[in-house]
Chain A
Amino acid sequence: MSNEAHVAASGPAHSGAHDEHPPTTIREYVMIGLVLTVVTAVELWASYNAHILGGTLVPVLLVLSAFKFAVVVAMFMHLRFEHGLLTRLFAFGLVLGAGIIITLSAIFWNDGTDVVGGGKTSVTEPAAAPAAPAPGTTPAR
């Protein structure tokens, strides 16, 4: 049985089904690689010129990173041309993974139990020593 016949017999026709040959050409793949390289170079430039971007540096870096992530997933991993089920499966894991990062950061970022303060201050700043109790008194709890 040929591949085509087998695919046709395997289930209902769906336009987004797995395509044996994604339509992307070698030239397009190389162009995508070039774009990814340029975006990485822009990220580097932004990182070394943080004073120019100021407070927008982190959002800019995150957006550029997300762009590269999306391009690789869509074009190199061919998710753009695949069945929607695969997109939903991966998106499910991705949302849960991002949820873990956001939730844990929200819980522990300023939990006040850190050795060096609770506010992610300078890593070299020593913790303030607790005041010594006066002689004959019970330390406050």
Chain B
Amino acid sequence: MAAATHETQHPTSTGIDSRKVLMWIFLASECLFFGSLISTYLIFKGDSISGPTPAEILNIPVTSASTFVLLMSSLTMVLAVYGAQHGRLGMMKAMLLATIVLGLGFLGFQAYEFASFVHEGLGLTTNQFGTTFFVLTGFHGTHVFVGVLYLLSLLLAANRRTGLGRERALHVDIAGLYWHFVDIVWIVIFTIVYLIPNN
């Protein structure tokens, strides 16, 4: 117990665990990464010589459903963190599993969207809209996939007898930060790419 407690609370001058600070620094750097991709999309989306154009091809109802799925995954993730912090390991495991399933659901929606776009003639190299759209949403989808693997590793660790327990809540907390960041990036992408009219 003492060893486990020591693992979650390193003495630092600020009182904040260094791993948590590192995750926040990483997320701050990710703001620059996605900022670059979003600005590239905004600059080039209207410069295509040939179609399909955003107004012709974007499927807002389907994307709205996937947005709802990702929002709900943030809710289940925060409940997993709650369970970990309050020693309710059953709740933590169930909510982690629900978050993984919802994350996979979001990826399924994205795979469907990408496949339908390719079927309608929009590929990565078709025009500038296609290039910037697939790069932006593809990188976000990759982040979701990495998040699913991250949560899966936590769930597997939690199911080991000596694995993730109450004293390891910090691990779930940090994973939650990553997952919520993926969600807030999608909040911005959904508005800029899908909701703002593309005329």
- Return the contact of A11 from the options B14, B40, B42, B173 (Cβ within 8 A): B14
Query: With A37-B68, A68-B187, A86-B16 in contact, is A57–B49 under 8 Å at CB?
Result: no
Q: Quick one: which of A64-106 are within 8 Å of B by CB?
A: 64-65, 68-69, 72-73, 75-78, 82-83, 85-86, 89-90, 92-94, 96-101, 104-105
- Inter-chain CA distance A127–B25, complex, in Å, is 45
Q: Considering only CB atoms, which chain B residue lies closest to A8 in the complex?
A: B15
Which size bracket describes the interface of A in this complex? 35 or more
- Taking a contact as CB atoms under 8 Å apart, the answer to whether A120 and B46 are in contact is yes
- Taking a contact as CB atoms under 8 Å apart, the answer to whether A98 and B74 are in contact is no
Query: With A89-B25, A100-B35 in contact, is A43–B191 under 8 Å at CB?
Result: yes
B82 within 8 A of A: yes
> Chain B nearest CB: distance from A4 CB in Å?
10
- Taking a contact as CB atoms under 8 Å apart, the answer to whether B180 and A73 are in contact is yes
- Inter-chain CA distance A73–B183, complex, in Å, is 10
> Chain B nearest CB: distance from A29 CB in Å?
5
B12 within 8 A of A: yes
- Taking a contact as CB atoms under 8 Å apart, the answer to whether A61 and B195 are in contact is yes
Q: Quick one: which of B75-120 are within 8 Å of A by CB?
A: 75, 77-79, 82, 85-86
- Inter-chain CA distance A2–B4, complex, in Å, is 11
> Chain A nearest CB: distance from B55 CB in Å?
9
Can you give 19 contacting A-B residue pairs, CB < 8 Å?
Answer: A1-B2, A2-B5, A3-B8, A3-B9, A18-B20, A40-B68, A44-B60, A46-B195, A57-B196, A57-B197, A64-B191, A72-B74, A75-B78, A76-B74, A83-B15, A86-B24, A105-B39, A105-B42, A116-B49
Besides the contacts A40-B67, A72-B187, A86-B24, what 10 more A-B pairs have beta carbons closer than 8 Å? A7-B15, A18-B17, A40-B71, A44-B64, A64-B191, A83-B14, A90-B28, A97-B32, A114-B47, A116-B48
CB-based closest 5 A-B pairs: A93-B28, A97-B35, A97-B31, A33-B75, A100-B35
